[in-house]
Amino acid sequence: MRIKLLSWNVNGIRSAVKNGALRDIEELDPDFICLQEIKSDEKTVPLEITSLGYSAFVNPAKKRGYSGTMILTKEKPLSVKTGIGSMQFDEEGRVLSVETEKFWLINVYFPNSQRDLVRLDYKLEFDREFGSYCLELQKTKPLIIAGDFNVAHEDIDIARPDENRNNAGFTNQERNWMTRFLDSGFIDTFRMFNREPGNYSWWTYRFNAREKNIGWRIDYFIVSEILRKNTKTSTILKDIKGSDHAPLSLEIEFP
């Protein structure tokens, strides 16, 4: 059984739909779709999304028009979990998990540590709490984690590393946490297949950055180590527009 998963920070689900995101999703025909930063709740998600033939689950932020995560799945999950059990993070709708027979799928939208690192401590606390959540959940089934981690892990993951050291998303603290998280039993699937520079998933809207490919790789598909051999492809769909992020595709095969 081979399954295809799609992950995409849409930077507002309604604007993404207007920009043609549905057409791209339908053409890809994934089994699971993880959307981050939807900026909507159940009442304001475009009807076009819910008419695609998927079961839809939403974890909105308490604040309207902010953050939020969504999972669309062709198969009805065994269970659904919203949040990680911490009120200060869960009110921002950053984590949504669904359980299938073979694995847990976690959709996550990490906080941005922001200009002047005003939210770095909040981000690092979220990092720790999320890591603990994953390790606990992994005791039951392997994990597939999709999302915007808001960190470029290594120099290869950013177009201009020297200019961005200690800027939000490229601080030593954030990058070191990512290293520790992966070392705790997880795989950055994209780097299983591609060790080349110049592969990014986010570009600022300014300065024609996307056309010049001045970007950051901050979106990831992460899997439990036990799923390494099951992982068949992991790609960045950089030619698909509709957001300042490119969607990611992952294919995993189960016996």
The domains located in the chain, with CATH, are: 2-253 (3.60.10.10)
The pTM is what? 0.97
| pLDDT at residue number 50 | 74
Flag whether 230 is marked binding.
no
Task: Give the containing element (helix H, strand E) for 162.
Answer: helix 161-164
Q: What is the pLDDT of residue 9?
A: 98
pLDDT recorded at residue 25: 87
Paired with 6 in beta bridges are: 33, 249
Query: DSSP states of 47-71 as a string?
Result: HHHHTSSSEEEEE--SSTTS--EEE
Tell me: is residue 154 an annotated ligand-binding position: no
Tabulate helix, strand, coil % of the chain (nearest 5).
Answer: 30, 25, 45
What pLDDT is attached to residue 117?
A: 97
| 239 annotated to a ligand binding site | no
Q: Which residues is 159 bridged to in the sheet?
A: none
Local structure of 159: helix, strand or coil: coil
Catalytic residue set: 109, 148, 245
Determine if residue 153 is labeled as part of a ligand binding site: no
Give the pLDDT confidence score for residue 168 in this predicted structure.
98
Q: Are 99 and 79 in contact (CB under 8 A)?
A: yes
Q: What's residue 134's pLDDT?
A: 98
pLDDT of residue 92: 97
CB 199 within 8 A of CB 236: yes
What residue ranges of the chain have pLDDT lower than 50? none
The verdict on whether residue 162 carries a ligand-binding annotation is no
Do the strands 32-36 and 69-73 form a parallel or antiparallel pair, or are they unpaired? antiparallel
Nearest to 68 by CA among 132, 143, 147, 121: 147
pLDDT of amino acid 93:
98
Which pLDDT score, from 0 to 100, does residue 200 have? 98
